Amino acid sequence: MACGGISKGRKRRSFSPEVWEGRPAKESHVPFFARLSGNKRLSGGTKGNFTREGRRIGLEDMVSHQKERIFFIDALRGVCLLGIFAVNMLDFQMPYLYMNPLDAAETFADRAVYIFIDVFAQASFYPLFAFLFGYGMVLISEKAEAKGVNSRPVLTRRLAFLLLLGLLHAFFLWTGDILAGYALCGFLLLPFLRRPGKKLLKTAGILYLVPNLLIAALTLLSGLAAKDLAEPEKAEKALHIYGNGSFLEITRYRMSEWAEIHHPWNLLVMLFMIFPFMLAGAGFAKEGRLAGGRRLFPYYRKRFAFALPAGLVLKTLPYWAGDTAGNVYIQDVFGGPLLSMAFLAGLYLAVNSGYGKKVFAAFSCAGRMSLTNYLFQSLVCTTIFYGYGFSLYGKVSIAAAFSAVIALFAVQVLISRLWLRRFSRGPAEWLWRKVYWTRGSRTAG
């Protein structure tokens, strides 16, 4: 099952810097795509010389791998969109930042749903989104350079627009915005884009592990209980303003809350918590670790076999070792990325085995419009819960809100499929591309 008009054979002459929409690669671009895929066969042998037979076989494999990679990345982005939506819904519906959600779990269903989200979704999908962001930046950079275009201005415009969009989103819709933070980390990534993939991966590992291991050790030694981190007064204030305030009152509170959360220290936190995953995504793009087809099955089988059980052990740590601040930190900061690796590896194996394509086709449609769908989620949910809408903030159970997540995401999948039958990208994606990919950039080369 494919999304949109491509399944009907319509050929669109449009260039997207993140996906190529099934267009066959030109022979003159073989070295670029061969290097991107990391497959030695695509370069005609281990020495990288193109023979006539090697070039012919390489083109066939290259097109096949390109199609697999496009579907896989869109499907992964769609899965991340659902996972992050489930976590964000907790913040949409109640003062999640200032309380222990289990205190609001009135029934067994509420408790079970929250534990499910906490174990499988919390801190497990934003690393993947950051990873895909870094991966996409390399693809845009490489594609622009292959077209004879300087990629730095293209990426700078892309990030500047995303930063502006993120601030507007945070101030006028929802303070939990991730776009502005990703844009700032993207600016930090620009000087690293020409570095080799292995160095990017090594830098990502060091930058993430060293400070977070130190913080985890200090937090464990502190012996704080997680419930001590709750702030009842702020929770009551949020309940009153978000639940009953006008749009102007809520906007003022949103801005003050955003400023309080995003203090200068938070920039350093993003350096250790988000930026390393962007580096890792860029490294994977350079190394061709998402475009190798079945050749990479042994690589992903090993990582899935390790990451899934290890991630589940750490993600359940507060439930069997004590609900302390140290255990919660380890749960999210180390358990979350391990489950991210398991999701990445498992989806790669499923999609490239063939049987996962039908299962994840719906996620692929939503993933192709991830920016539009992300903003749409904020618009709909703040209208449902905030005072200028239906005023349901703090009045809906966790289980009921999770049911709404599934229903709304299903609607988004349907809308995405219908939209992509007529257009090649979502409205937000179209506007974003219009801003950063100028006419000269598109036609150069």
Q: Is pLDDT above 90 for 102?
A: no
Q: Is there a contact between 146 and 445 (Cβ–Cβ < 8 Å)?
A: yes
Share of the chain above pLDDT 70, in %: 81
Judge residue 362's burial from the number of C-beta atoms within 10 Å of its C-beta, 0-12 exposed, 13-18 middle, 19 or more buried.
buried
Q: Is there a contact between 381 and 90 (Cβ–Cβ < 8 Å)?
A: no
Q: Is pLDDT above 90 for 375?
A: yes
Name every residue whose Cβ is closer than 8 Å to that of residue 179 and which is 6 or more positions away in sequence. Answer: 162, 163, 165, 166, 169, 374
H/E element holding 222?
A: helix 197-222
DSSP state for residue 293 in the 8-state scheme:
G
Mean per-residue pLDDT, 277-299: 93
Q: Is there a contact between 127 and 426 (Cβ–Cβ < 8 Å)?
A: no
pLDDT at residue 266, as a whole number:
77
Q: Is pLDDT above 90 for 202?
A: yes
Mean per-residue pLDDT, 426-438: 86
Average pLDDT, the chain: 84
Judge residue 358's burial from the number of C-beta atoms within 10 Å of its C-beta, 0-12 exposed, 13-18 middle, 19 or more buried.
exposed
pLDDT at residue 9, as a whole number:
39
pLDDT at residue 6, as a whole number:
40
- Ordered alpha helix ranges (H), 223-296: 232-244, 247-261, 264-273, 275-287
CA distance 370 to 366: 6
Q: Is 102 helix (H, G, I), strand (E, B) or coil?
A: helix
Lowest model confidence (mean pLDDT) among 32-41, 171-180, 272-281, 362-371: 32-41
Locate tokens 């506007």: which residue? 431
Q: Is pLDDT above 90 for 136?
A: yes
Mean per-residue pLDDT, 365-394: 97
Residue scoring higher pLDDT (386 or 106): 386
Global confidence as pTM: 0.83
CA atoms lying within 13 Å on the CB side of residue 222: 17
Mean per-residue pLDDT, 361-370: 95
- Ordered alpha helix ranges (H), 94-178: 108-120, 126-146, 151-172
pLDDT at residue 224, as a whole number:
67
Of the candidates 149, 86, 151, 146, the residue with the CA atom closest to the CA atom of residue 116 = 86
| Per-residue pLDDT band at 281 (split at 50, 70, 90) | very high
Lowest model confidence (mean pLDDT) among 160-164, 257-261, 277-281: 257-261
Locate tokens 């795509």: which residue? 33
Which amino acid appears at position 193 of this protein? L
Mean per-residue pLDDT, 309-337: 94
DSSP state for residue 24 in the 8-state scheme:
P
CA distance 366 to 264: 34
| Per-residue pLDDT band at 261 (split at 50, 70, 90) | confident
Locate tokens 């990582």: which residue? 303
Locate tokens 């999304």: which residue? 3
Share of the chain above pLDDT 90, in %: 66
- Give bridge partners of residue 324 from the DSSP assignment: 225
